[in-house]
Structure 1
Amino acid sequence: MRLIQYLEEGQPRAALVESDDAVRPIRLAGGTYALARLAIASGQSLSAVIEMHLDDELVDYQQLIDECRLLPPLTHADPAHCLVTGTGLTHLGSADIRSAMHAKAQADESELTDSMRMFKLGVEGGKPAAGEAGAQPEWFYKGDGDCVAAPEAPIPVPAFAEDAGEEPELAGLYVIGDDGRPWRVGYAIGNEFSDHVTERFNYLWLAHSKLRHCSFGPELLIGELPEHLEGTSRIVRDGKTLWEKPFLTGEVNMAHSLTNLEHHHFKYPGFRRPGDVHVHFFGTATLSFADGIQTCNGDCFEIALPAFGRPLRNPLSFEYGVIDMPVHSL
C-alpha cells in the first residue's frame, strides 16, 4: 500500500495510489498526519484506517504533478515540529566498494581514518540480536520541515554552497504518540542532498554540509520494507541524461539494521516529543560527486526504486548573492 499527499483547497489531502495514473483520495482532514494520529489513538493499523475513509472517486495523478500540487507524503502543520535527521556510513555499497572497504578494515587500527573506524563499527556490531542495542552510527541534523522540498519542486542551493549533490537513499517517516512512543508511518525514497566539497575539505565540516534542503516521496510505502532494493539515480541536464548509476539499499545491503538506526535516534528524549514528525534518512553508497560530476542550475535529480512507485524528481535552483544578515545587539 502506498500513499501520496497533495494540496486540495490549500490543505493537505492524503490519497491511496491505485496505479501510475490514478490515486483515490482519503476523506479525512489533515492528510497523512491525521491518519497516523487516528490509527495511534484508536489502536488500529494504518491500513485499516485508510480503508475506512477511502473516497469513491479517482484523481488523475499526472494532473496533480502538472498543477504543482504534490506535497511530501508526510508533513506537520507547523514545520518546527518536523525534525529532519539522518545517518551516514551505513551501506556496504556495490561489491567492488564493499570489497575495498573490507580490505581497508583489515588494516592496523592506527592506520584507519575516523570514517573507516565508524564503518568498521557498523560492520562488526550494527545488526544486534533482537532487543539489544548495537553499534552507534554516525548521526547528523538537517533542519526542520522548512528544509523539505516537495517532490517535483526545485531544491534551493544557497549562494555560499560549494557543491550541490544528490544522495539517493531511504527515509523513515515517523509520528510521536501522546505517550512519547515513536510510530513508524512508512518509508519513502529520499534525496538527502549535501555539499560534498565542504564535507571533503574537512570532515569536521560535515555538520555544515548537511544544512541544506532535501526531498522525499512522492509516495509513502506502508508495511514491511523489502530487505533488498535496487534503484537508479540519475541527473538530467537539458533533457538528456548527464549521469546515471544503479544503487542498492535495504537491510541486506547495509551494515546496520533499521531497528538499530531507529534505536540510536529515538533513545534521546528530545526526539520523543508528543505530536512531532520525524524524517530520518538511512544513508547511501552512490554519489555522482564520486564520479566527478558538478551540478548546475536547472539540473534535475531523478531517484527511482520500483517498489516505491513513481520516482522522486527535483530540479536544482541556484541562489545568487550572499545575504548580509548581521546580528544586532538589544
Structure 2
Amino acid sequence: MTIVFECEYKGLRYAGLGLPAPGEPHTLYRVAEGQLRAAVIAGGTQAVAAAVTGEAGGGAETVSVHADDPELRYLPPLLPTATNNSLVNGFMGTHRSKFDRDPAPDEEFTPPNYYLKGFGSWLRMPDEPLVTPAAPVWLLEEPEVALVYVNDEDGNPHYAGYTFGNDLNDIGLHLRNKWAWTPYAKLCETSLTPWLFLDKPPRTVTGRVTVQRDGAAAWSGDFSCGADSLYHRVPDMAEHLFSYPLLRRPGLVNYLLLGADKASYHDGFRIEDGDRLVIDVTSHGVVLANPVRYGQAVAARS
C-alpha cells in the first residue's frame, strides 16, 4: 500500500513517500502547490506517487530530513494552502453498535445525520493542541476514517485516498439538545494524520485510544472505524453527499469523516483541559496524539 504526505520545510513545500521512522532520515521531494491534487484528477491514486518523485519530468529536487527536525511541518493531505478551498465535514451515528439490528442486503439507503465541521485550514496535525470552547459540558474524542476528495474544474469529485482523524466534540452539549445544539458541540478543533493512504476506503480499522493525564494513562479503550464497523455503506454515503452541488465546487478539497464508535464518554470518563489524546491506529501503524486546550471566552468588540 502506498502512502504519501505533504509538508513544509524551511518555507518550501515538499512531499514524501511512506511513513518516516523516528531517528532516521527520510527523503522529501520538492513539489508545487496543487501538484498532487492535479495528479489525482488527471490519473487517480496511481498517478500521485509518480507526481511526488517527479518521474514524468526527470525527477524532483530532494532533501533528506529527520522526522523530528524543528523546521519540518506536516500538512493535512492535499490541503490547498494558497486558497483554503477546502471543507471538513462528516456523518454522525454511522456505526452498527448504534443500531438494534443489521441492515438487510437490499435495504434502501437512509442518509445518516450530516454536519459541517469547518475549513481545511482549521485542521490540526499530530502533537498540535486541539482547542475547545471555554467551558465544554463533556468532551468526546472520536477516532475516525477521513476520506479525501478533490473536485476538478467541472465540479466532479475525485477520490484521492484516506487518512485518520480525531473529531473532538462536546457530546454533553449535543445531548442537551440533539436537534439544535449539535453545530455548537462540533465547534472543537479536529486533527488528522498527514498520511494519505492511496487505496480504497478501508474495511477494517482497529486500534486503541489512551487519554493521558499528567504523563500517565487515565483511560484507555479499543475502537474500530472501518467500513465493516459501519451500518451505512460508504459508497452510498459518498454518492448522497456529492449529490449536493455546493460540495462539488471546482477545486474544493473535501475531508469526509465517516463517524466513530463509542469511546471514553460512554465509559463515564471526562476529558479535562491539558489531557493528551492518543489514538493508536494499530491496524495501519500510525499514531495521532494531541493535547486538549480549553479556549477563552471573548466578547465581540463594538
Q: TM-score range by the shorter chain?
A: 0.7 to 0.9
Aligned equivalent of 1:81, options 81, 85, 101: 85
Q: CA offsets per residue over residues 19-72 of structure 1, 9 Å max, x none?
A: 533533122122xx42121342367622333342566654222x14x5562222
Aligned mates of 1:24, 1:54 — CA distance in 2: 11
In structure 2, relative to structure 1, the CA distance for the partners of 1:14 and 1:286 (3 Å cut) is farther
Question: Could you say which residue in structure 2 is the equivalent of 1:49?
Answer: 51
Secondary structure (helix, strand or coil) at the match of 2:111 reads coil
Residue identity in the other structure for 1:20 = A
Q: CA deviation at 1:309?
A: 3.3
Quote the offset at 1:73 in angstroms: 2.7
C-alpha distance 150-34 of structure 1, shift in aligned 2 (>3 A): same
Q: Secondary structure at the match of 2:114?
A: strand
Which residue of the other structure, out of 274, 278, 284, is the alignment partner of 2:250?
274
Q: Which residue of 19, 23, 27 corresponds with 2:30?
A: 27
1:59 aligns with 2:52: no
Matched, 1:289 2:268: no
SS in 2 for 1:146: helix
Please state how far the C-alpha of 1:80 moved relative to its aligned partner.
4.4
> Residue 94 of structure 2 aligns with which residue?
90
Question: Do the aligned residues in 2 keep the contact of 1:136 with 1:264 (CA within 8 Å)?
Answer: yes
Residues 1:4 and 1:258: Cα distance change in structure 2 (over 3 Å): same
Task: Report the Cα distance in structure 2 between the residues aligned to 1:245 and 1:184, rounded to whole angstroms.
Answer: 31
- Measure the CA separation in 1 of the matches of 2:77 and 2:269: 30
Q: Structure 2 vs 1, CA of residues 283 and 28 (structure 1 numbering), >3 Å: closer, same or farther?
A: same
More helix by share: 1
Alignment CA distance shift 1:206-1:49 (3 Å): same
Please name the residue that 2:103 is paired with.
Answer: 124
Q: Does 2:151 align with 1:176?
A: yes
Secondary structure of 1:180's match?
coil
Cα separation, partners in 2 of 1:147 and 1:19, compared to 1, 3 Å: closer
TM-score by length of 1: 0.80
* SS of equivalent residue, structure 1 residue 198: helix
Q: Distance in 2 between matches of 1:67 and 1:161?
A: 34
Closer, same or farther: CA 298–79 of 1 in aligned 2, 3 Å: farther
Identity %: 28
- Using a 3 Å threshold, how does the CA distance of structure 1 residues 155 and 41 change in structure 2: closer, same or farther? same
CA distance in 2, matches of 1:74, 1:308: 20
Partner Cα separation in structure 2 for residue 250 and residue 220 of structure 1: 16
In structure 2, the CA distance between the partners of 1:228 and 1:34, relative to structure 1 (3 Å rule), is same
Alpha-carbon separation, structure 1, partners of 2:131 and 2:236: 32
**What residue number does 1:10 align with?**
11
> How far 1:200 sits from its partner (Å)?
1.1
> CA shift at 1:306, angstroms?
3.0
Find out whether 1:213 has 2:189 as its counterpart: yes
Residue 185 of structure 1 corresponds to which residue in structure 2? Answer: 160
Once the two structures are superposed, what CA deviation does each residue of 1:96-120 show, in whole Å capped at 9, x if it has no partner?
A: xx7xx42xx6xxxxxxxxxxxxxxx
The whole-number CA distance in structure 2 between the counterparts of 1:9 and 1:71 is 14
Which structure has the highest strand share of the two?
Answer: 2
1:297 Cα deviation (Å)?
2.1
Aligned letter for 2:10?
E
RMSD of aligned residue pairs (Cα, Å): 2.5
For the 8 Å contact 1:70–1:150, the answer to whether it is kept is yes
* Structure 1: unaligned runs, 5 residues or longer: 106-122
The 2-side partners of 1:303 and 1:256 are apart by 23
Q: Which runs of 5+ in 2 are unaligned?
A: none
- Name the residue aligned to 1:264: 240
Match of 1:139 in 2: 114
Conserved? CA contact 1:186–1:220, under 8 Å: yes
- When normalised by structure 2's length, the TM-score is 0.87
Find the residue that maps to 2:49 and give its secondary structure. helix
